[in-house]
Amino acid sequence: MSEFAQPEQYGLADLLCCAASREVGNNEIVFAGTGLPMVAIMLAQNTHAPNLKLIFEAGTLDGRPPELPTSVGDARCEMGASRASGLYDAFSIAQRGYVDLGYLGGAEVDQYGNVNTTCIGDYLDPELRLTGSGGNPDINSFAKRTVFIMVHEKRRFVEHVSYITSPGWRVKKWPGGEFVHRRELYGAAFRGGPSAVISTAGVFRFDEETGLMYLDSCHPGKTPEEIRDLCQFDLDISRVKGETVAPTLEELRIIHEVLDPDEIFIPKVKKG
């Protein structure tokens, strides 16, 4: 095990990337989104999880890209892949239940892990239309676990998201829209749900029975109380384990020298 980096040796993006990378186990099948998650998965592949299998939503199955793809449609994805095909394959495999873990992002999250990537404000008269769902709800419905990587701001950790794009642990039952446990809606298709939110403030997990988010670890320099104040809902801080584990020097080397030397997704810490 390589030694841990000192706070001045890494940036927030490095910390997020390493925390995300540690969520994946060896031999797991992982659905990769564009951006930081891709670096995190490839970091895991280069460290503790050399046998993990990567699925890119656009249709690459068990890909081993030698150079960081800029999106899942990228020609780089399929170098060394088991099969390059299309979205029907990727989503069928996911719905069939092959996927252990998916990495996702979001603009807003609520205390049940419901995530919004669709619009800010009233859907029928939005303040801002965002990108839309993409595969966020699909990966979140089909995978056994999902990890969300998010910027932490009080306006993003909300009581109610403007629009539930992606299902958390307690979701809306239509046509009435009352909140029920996810297990009740998904029936035989229930496999799990969001297992962690990694924000720029800390790492959060969920009580799978109550469906409520709790603080698991604080990033260096943050206190549980400060993080609770950064949420619009009453965050449970009683189960906090301590500080988020820092990147190791070896992880930093792999991120910046092997995976993302051009700083496409992860900026290097500037030497002062």
Partner 1 sequence: MSTDKRITLQHAAEIIKDGSRLTFSGFTIWRRPMAIVFELIRQHRKHLHLIEVQGGSHTEFLVGGGCVDIWESCWVGHELYGKYGANLSRKVAEKKLIVEDYSHAEMMFRFAAAASGAPYAVTQTALGTDIHNPEYDMLGRAGLRDGKRIARHKYQFTEDPFFGAGSQVLVPAAKVDIAVMCVQQVGEEGTVRVNGQYYSDPEAARAADITIVMAEEIVPEEYLRRNADQNTIVSFEVDHILECPYGAHPTGMFGRYDVDGAFLKEFYGRSRTQEGFDDFANEWIHGRNHLSYLEKLGWPRMLNLKANSAMNYAPREKKGGK
Pairing between β-strand 83-84 and β-strand 119-120 as defined by DSSP bridges: unpaired
Query: Which residues bind to partner 1, rule: CB under 8 A?
Result: 34-35, 56-60, 67, 70-79, 84-88, 91, 94-95, 114, 118, 123-124, 126, 128-138, 141-142, 163-167, 171-175, 177, 180, 182, 185-189, 262, 264-265
In angstroms, the CA 223 to CA 201 distance is 9
Q: Are 22 and 217 in contact (CB under 8 A)?
A: no
CB of 137 to partner 1, least distance (A): 4
Nearer to partner 1, 58 or 218 (CB): 58
Nearer to partner 1, 140 or 199 (CB): 140
Nearer to partner 1, 165 or 199 (CB): 165
In angstroms, the CA 132 to CA 157 distance is 19
Nearer to partner 1, 56 or 206 (CB): 56
In angstroms, the CA 158 to CA 106 distance is 12
The contacts of residue 152 (CB under 8 Å, 6+ apart) are 199, 200, 201, 202, 227, 230
CB of 151 to partner 1, least distance (A): 12
Give the count of beta carbons closer than 10 Å to the beta carbon of residue 263: 10
Which one, of 168, 190, 192, lies nearest residue 179 by Cα?
A: 168
CB of 117 to partner 1, least distance (A): 9
DSSP per-residue letters across 15-82:
HHHHHHHTTPPTT-EEEE-SSHHHHHHHHHHHTT-TT-EEEETTTEES---SS--SSTTSGGGGTT-S
The residue to which tokens 């046998």 are assigned:
51
The contacts of residue 179 (CB under 8 Å, 6+ apart) are 112, 170, 171, 172, 173
The answer to whether 67 is a known catalytic residue is no
| Identity of the residue numbered 116 | N
Nearer to partner 1, 1 or 188 (CB): 188
CB of 40 to partner 1, least distance (A): 16
Catalytic pick from 57, 78, 108, 251?
57
Nearer to partner 1, 10 or 265 (CB): 265
Which one, of 17, 4, 53, lies nearest residue 263 by Cα?
A: 17
Residues with active-site annotation:
57
